[in-house]
Amino acid sequence: MSAPYDNVVLTAPVTVPYERYSERRANYWLGRALGMLAKTTGLDKKHIDGLSVSSFTLVPDSVASLTQHFGMTPRWICQEHTGGASGITALRKAARAVQMGDADIIACISGDTNPKDGFTNILDNFSTDMSQAALPYGAGGPNTSFALITKAYMEIYGARREDFGKLAISQRDNARTTPHALMQKPLSLDAYMDARIISDPIHLYDCVMPCAGAEGYLVMSEDRARELGLAYVYIRSAIERHNAYANDPVQLRTGLAMDADMLWQTAGLTPRDIDVVQTYDDYPVISFLQLEDLGFCKKGEANIFVRDHDFTIQGDFPHNTSGGQLSAGQAGAAGGFLGIVETIRQLTGTALGGQVANARLGLVSGFGIINYDKGLSCAATILERGQ
Amino acid sequence: MIKLQVCSDCQNVHYPERDICTSCWSENLLWSEVSAHGTITSVTDLHISAKPQWKDKLPLRLGLVALDAGVNILAFLDSDLCINDKIVLCMDNGIYSATLKSEN
Ligand SMILES: [Zn+2]
């Protein structure tokens, strides 16, 4: 069991409103997130002495070059390359750095730009395995990899497209309360089922819309957050794991399954205690895997769990309450921050859209870096409203 | 048979290409012949490509193959192949495709 995250908190959730396309650099989107962090907290930027960055389109720049772009002189920097898990892997490192005194206030930011040809560029430069073992097969990108996972999952566990549809539709309902969500039109089950086929069994509304945008939050001591008068959340527990179950022929479980027991034990909580859940939803099946691997239901039974619960903000299992990436859009690596930022808002009573009543405990999980057949990184954290 | 990287020290088979053995971290990886037999573990018909050069060839039937030698390979499939089918993999210019294993 890892040491508790005492006297360290997350605060100041910010979102730079998403745009479908942008010809600006990633530097712009990341810089806007920093600007919003300073503005919403009233902090002078010289007090932010740590910087953690997650971005796919920042290359050839890095977090070190960004310090010059942003006129910062931090004593702690970190760059996350875990994509959909980066919001949580960033907080794990930043929280420890603050606890140990290596930095006082760390800005964790993530953002990407999305020029018209942006997505093809990300694919071409994603990884050597993707270039060698996936893209030559029709260049379907992640749609191919996730279609294969979804197909095997449906065949083995009996999930139906309607089950994935219910998740997507609930998230659209949630998105419609969230001002910056890109997709605001109601989604019906008929529209979901009849959508254009992308890579069987993946259809249009199983896919996220790539966009530009950024997300961010601050990590600091509880004392500091109090002094500044900021609403904050505690980290009750946090796990990450990479390249788990490497010999599985198809990815029907994530590395979360390896560490879920420790996640709950460290927090002294069970899945029933959680008031609001955010999973990484680049495709609905991945949310299903996370719900199972984290113990909200048994392996292969997420379809039943989804049928039995109401995943909307006012439902009995509020999930992806800002619409998730499926409805808010996927601003590159910022998709891995969406869940953290939204959970800080929900637990501090500052939701931009629908607020879950009396939310005290939230769980966030992330999943990222699909190389050619499997997503390699996963992480989860349990957060609690600060007193 | 197809050629894949096999570790001279522990016989671990690799795909995609590796620089050191993923099992024992030996640098002695040799391109060697391994069985081309495997089983299809998932399939998809790809209708949308990120690259224009594929436009005229869509949809494409693709599948994930669990090779008996112990690696997973994404491959083009004959159109009638399904999950659990036993297949033979062949490689042309670095690109893999799978056909049904004949019964004998
Ligand atoms: Zn070896």
Give distance in angstroms: CA of B96 to centre of ligand 1: 24
**Which of B16, B42, B57 is nearest residue A148 as measured by Cβ atoms?**
B42
- pLDDT greater than 90 at residue A2: no
C-alpha to C-alpha distances, A83 to A86, A97, A268, nearest whole angstrom: 5, 21, 28
Q: Do A120 and B51 touch (CB under 8 A)?
A: yes
Q: Is the Cα dihedral A296, A299, A303, A308 positive or negative?
A: negative
pTM score: 0.96
Residues belonging to chain B: 104
Minimum-distance CB partner of B44 among A120, A139, A199: A199
How far apart are the CA of B23 and the centre of ligand 1, in A?
Answer: 5
Is A61 exposed, middle or buried (CB count within 10 Å of its CB: 0-12, 13-18, 19+)? middle
Nearest to A112 by CA among A33, A14, A214: A214
Q: Among all residues of chain A, which has the CA nearest to that of B52?
A: A139
ipTM over 0.90: yes
* A117 close contact with B: CB closer than 8 A: no
Question: Is the minimum CB–CB distance between A375 and chain B shorter than 8 Å?
Answer: no
Q: Chain A contacts of B16, Cβ < 8 Å?
A: 128-129, 132-133, 372
Which residues on neighbouring strands pair with residue A319, listed in sequence order?
A: A277
pLDDT of res. A180: 86
Contact B47 A198 (CB under 8 A): yes
Closest CB to A138: pick one of B46, B64, B72.
Answer: B46
> Where residue A380 falls among pLDDT bands split at 50, 70, 90?
very high
B40 part of contact set with chain A, CB < 8 Å = no
A204 near B CB under 8 A: no
Q: How far is the CA of B97 from the centre of ligand 1 (A)?
A: 27
Pairing of strands B37-46, B60-67: antiparallel
Q: Which of B14, B15, B46, B61 to mutate to test the interface with A (most CBs of A within 10 A)?
A: B46
Beta bridge partners of residue B75, listed in sequence order: B63
- Measured between CA atoms, how close is B16 to chain A, in angstroms? 6
Per-residue model confidence as pLDDT tens digits over A320-348: 999 999 999 999 999 999 999 999 999 99
d(CA B24, ligand 1 centre) in Å: 4
Asked whether residue A1 carries a pLDDT value surpassing 80, the answer given is no
Q: What is the DSSP letter of B102?
A: P
Fold of A137-208+233-385: Peroxisomal Thiolase; Chain A, domain 1 (3.40.47)
Residue B103's pLDDT is 67
Rounded Cα distance between A256 and A121, Å, is: 30
Domain regions of chain A by residue span? 8-117+212-231, 137-208+233-385
Residue A284 token pair: 């609905």
Q: How far apart are CA B66 and CA B96, in angstroms?
A: 13
A117 vs A57: CA distance, rounded Å? 12
A228 with A261: CB under 8 angstroms? no
pLDDT of the residue at A97? 98
Comparing A103 with A127, which gets the higher pLDDT? A103
Question: Could you tell me if A154 lies within 8 Å of chain B, comparing CB atoms?
Answer: no
> Chain B contacts of A144, Cβ < 8 Å?
44, 46, 62, 74
**Strand ranges (E), chain A:** 9-19, 50-54, 76-80, 105-112, 197-199, 202-203, 212-220, 232-242, 276-278, 361-370, 375-385
- A-B CB pairs within 8 A amount to 100
Q: In this predicted model, what pLDDT tens digit does every residue of A297-307 receive, in sequence order? A: 999 999 999 99
Q: Which of B42, B54, B57 sits opposite A151 (nearest CB)?
A: B42
In chain B, which stretches have pLDDT less than 50? none
Residues 6+ apart with CB under 8 A from B25: none
For B39, the closest chain A residue by CA position comes to: A249
- Give B77-98 pLDDT, tens digit per residue: 998 899 999 999 999 999 999 9
Quote the ligand 1 centre to B17 CA distance (angstroms): 14
A82-98 pLDDT per residue, tens: 999 999 999 999 999 99
User: Which CATH number fits the domain A8-117+212-231, given the four candidates 3.30.750.24, 3.40.47.10, 3.50.30.50, 3.40.50.300?
Assistant: 3.40.47.10
Cβ-based contacts of B39 with chain A (< 8 Å): 249
Question: CB-based contact (8 Å) between A127 and chain B?
Answer: no
**Residue contact A138–B75, C-beta within 8 A:** no
pLDDT computed for residue A371 by the predictor: 83
DSSP β-bridge partners for residue A330: A210
Is the peptide bond between A74 and the residue preceding it cis, with omega within 30 degrees of 0? no
State pLDDT tens for residues A186-227.
999 999 999 999 999 999 999 999 999 999 999 999 999 999
Gyration radius from chain B CA atoms? 15
- What are A7's two structure tokens? 């006297």
Alpha helices in A309-380 (DSSP H): 324-328, 335-347
CA atoms of A234 and A134, how far apart (whole Å): 40
Share of chain A above pLDDT 70, in %: 100
Q: Which residues of B touch A141 (CB under 8 A)?
A: 50
Q: For all residues of chain A together, what is the average pLDDT? A: 96
Helix, strand or coil, per DSSP, at residue A29:
helix
- The DSSP code sequence of A251-268 is --S-THHHHHHHHHHHHT
Residue whose tokens read 């490192």 = A93
Closest CB to A200 among B44, B73, B75: B44
**Per-residue pLDDT for A359 more than 60?**
yes
Measured at the CA of B69, the angle between CA B64 and CA B73, to 5 degrees, comes to 20
The predicted pLDDT at position A123 comes to: 83
Residue A208 to residue A284: CA distance in whole angstroms: 10
